[in-house]
Amino acid sequence: MHRSFAFLISLAFCGHTAAQQYDLLLRRGHVVDAKNQISAVRDVAIKDGKIAAVAPSIDPTTAVKTIDAAGLYVTPGLVDIHVHVFAGTGERGSYAGDNSLYPDGYTFRVGVTTVADAGCAGWRNFDEFKSRIIDRSRTRVLAFLNIVGNGMRGGNYEQDLADMQAKPTADMALQHKGLIIGVKSAHYAGPEWHPYEQAVEAGNTASIPVMVDFGRTYPQKSVAELVTKKLRPGDIYTHCFSGLRGELDPAGHVNPGMIAGRKRGVIFDAGHGGGSFAWRIAVPAMKEGFPPDSISTDLHIGSMNAGMKDMLNVMGKFLAMGMSVDDVIARSTWNPAREIKQEQLGNLSVGSPADVAVLRLEKGAFGFTDMYGARMAGTQKLTCEMTVRDGKVVYDLNGLGATDWLKLPKDYRRFNDPRWDGLTPNNPEGPGTGQKKKKK
């Protein structure tokens, strides 16, 4: 390294620190923060992994790194409350196995910083899920614990009423407060109410919400009864635009039971997935004033390349149906954070975790497909330019935070400051060097 360049790096890391009260400053972006009712051009400053200031103008000389976000949206990191990420067990046909995806490959590149796994693990295998996925991911991974003790392993596991027990489910949730943020019931094909009653009992004991994928309906087991009598205010009905469980009545209007359920406080989540979103359900519902409370993906191997694709693609569908950018962002940040009782997330309040998405609103001719492959044309979509997680840049599509290589010494290696840079190697000498020598 040239001596002059090394000297500059030394100054940046040491001598100028006192004047630089912020680690990272995002300037001139259009901030959308539903919690704080901000939709305006603002500067956002970050320090020690927290939001330090949001103001119309912040002096760029006060930050270690300043990034110009003019013309872009700066939002809280997106919060996707319906994903399946219990990968790596090798179990075929299982969401506690091959049907799930490792989260980091599908989150930061679309502005998502927090996900909630929707019931892949039950109380019997949650510890494995935690050690295998939660503890090893850069994405913040939270979990709905399946009311089925064996988790979402398909077949007979998910139909076993004897393995749907409130007490051990609640006990496990209480052991992991803030990490297990809800109880999930899914895929039950029988006529009994037992799975949902046990889930609500566990939710009551652990003071956490219940999310329901309703499986199939029966004359004695309807969506209307679920959301007006069985679920509590704050519980979540996911897949609300599937059309598979009577979300519209025979005349094509929103099920009156869903309207009544919303009035009593039940939450309705999009949960797109590979088989839970149809234009012929969503469009009439939206026209009748029944949007989702939260937008989520239901990410898994069957949705990632099909109609769903990713969080921003699902958000784009609601833009195509006429929802405003601000509203789409609110239903992908602050609303889901509140639904899972994680109100430190989904906002840019001073002191909140510095999880930030920098998004570009593109204009043009685009197309979006539903679970059946039906297409809707759209004129705008969101793409992710940059993602910040805990105050560090972890994704930078076009190098907004990068330095032109021609301006660097010919033998440059790492030169960015680790206070904001979460992308480049920590070892300035490259791989294979700087390792601690083994003791003889």
What residue has token string 């305006």? 40
Would you call 180 exposed, middle or buried from its count of C-beta atoms within 10 A (0-12, 13-18, 19+)?
Answer: buried
Q: Is the pLDDT of residue 15 over 70?
A: no
Instruction: Give the separation between CA 84 and CA 102, rounded to whole angstroms.
Output: 9
State the DSSP H helix or E strand holding residue 4, giving kind and residue range, or none if neither. helix 3-10
- Local confidence band at 427 (pLDDT 50, 70, 90 cut-offs): low
| Residue 268 banded pLDDT, cuts 50, 70, 90 | very high
Q: Collapsing DSSP states into helix, strand and coil, what is residue 172?
A: helix
Q: How many domains would you assign to the chain?
A: 1
Token reading at 410: 């010919």
Residue 4 resides in a domain: no
Q: In this structure, what token pair is assigned to residue 60?
A: 């760029």
| Nearest alpha carbon to residue 163 among 88, 155, 223, 337 | 155
Residue 7: its pLDDT value, please?
39
pLDDT single digits (tens) 76-86: 999 999 999 99
* Residue 40 confidence (pLDDT): 98
Residue 422 inside a domain? The answer is no
Asked if the model's pLDDT at residue 433 lies above 70, the reply is no
pLDDT of residue 20: 86
Whether 322 and 22 have beta carbons less than 8 Å apart is answered as: no
CB neighbours of residue 182 within 10 Å: 27
Q: What count of Cα atoms within 13 Å lies in the side-chain half-sphere of residue 32? A: 22
pTM value is 0.93
CA 82 – CA 370 distance, rounded (Å): 17
Question: Alpha helix (H) ranges present in 247-359?
Answer: 256-263, 279-287, 311-320, 325-330, 334-339
Farthest-apart Cα atoms in the chain, separation: 79
CA distance 257 to 254: 8
Confidence band for 437, pLDDT divided at 50, 70 and 90: very low
User: What is the structure's pLDDT at 425?
Assistant: 82
* pLDDT per position as a tens digit, 100-126: 999 999 999 999 999 999 999 999 999
304 located within any domain: yes
Q: Quick check: 387 and 394 in contact, CB under 8 A?
A: yes
**pLDDT tens track for 205-261:** 999 999 999 998 999 999 999 999 999 999 999 999 999 999 999 999 999 999 999
- Assess if residue 147 is contained within a domain: yes
Contacts of 255 (CB under 8 A, 6+ apart): 223, 224, 246, 247, 248, 249
Residue 3 has pLDDT above 70, yes or no: no
Q: Does residue 215 form part of some domain?
A: yes
**Shortest CA distance to 241 belongs to which of 318, 303, 337, 335?**
318
Mean pLDDT, rounded, of the chain: 93
Distance CA 189, CA 8 (A): 66
- The CATH number that applies at residue 268 is 3.20.20.140
Domain enclosing residue 272, as ranges? 78-348
Contact 121, 145 (CB under 8 A): yes
The tens digit of pLDDT for each residue in 288-325 reads 999 999 999 999 999 999 999 999 999 999 999 999 99
User: Does residue 439 carry a pLDDT above 90?
Assistant: no
Cβ–Cβ under 8 Å, residues 279 and 374: yes
CB-based contacts of 248, cutoff 8 Å, min separation 6: 254, 255, 281, 284, 285
Q: Count CB-CB contacts under 10 A for residue 254.
A: 20
123 domain residue, yes or no: yes
Tell me, yes or no, whether 425 lies in a domain: no
Do the domain assignments include residue 269?
A: yes
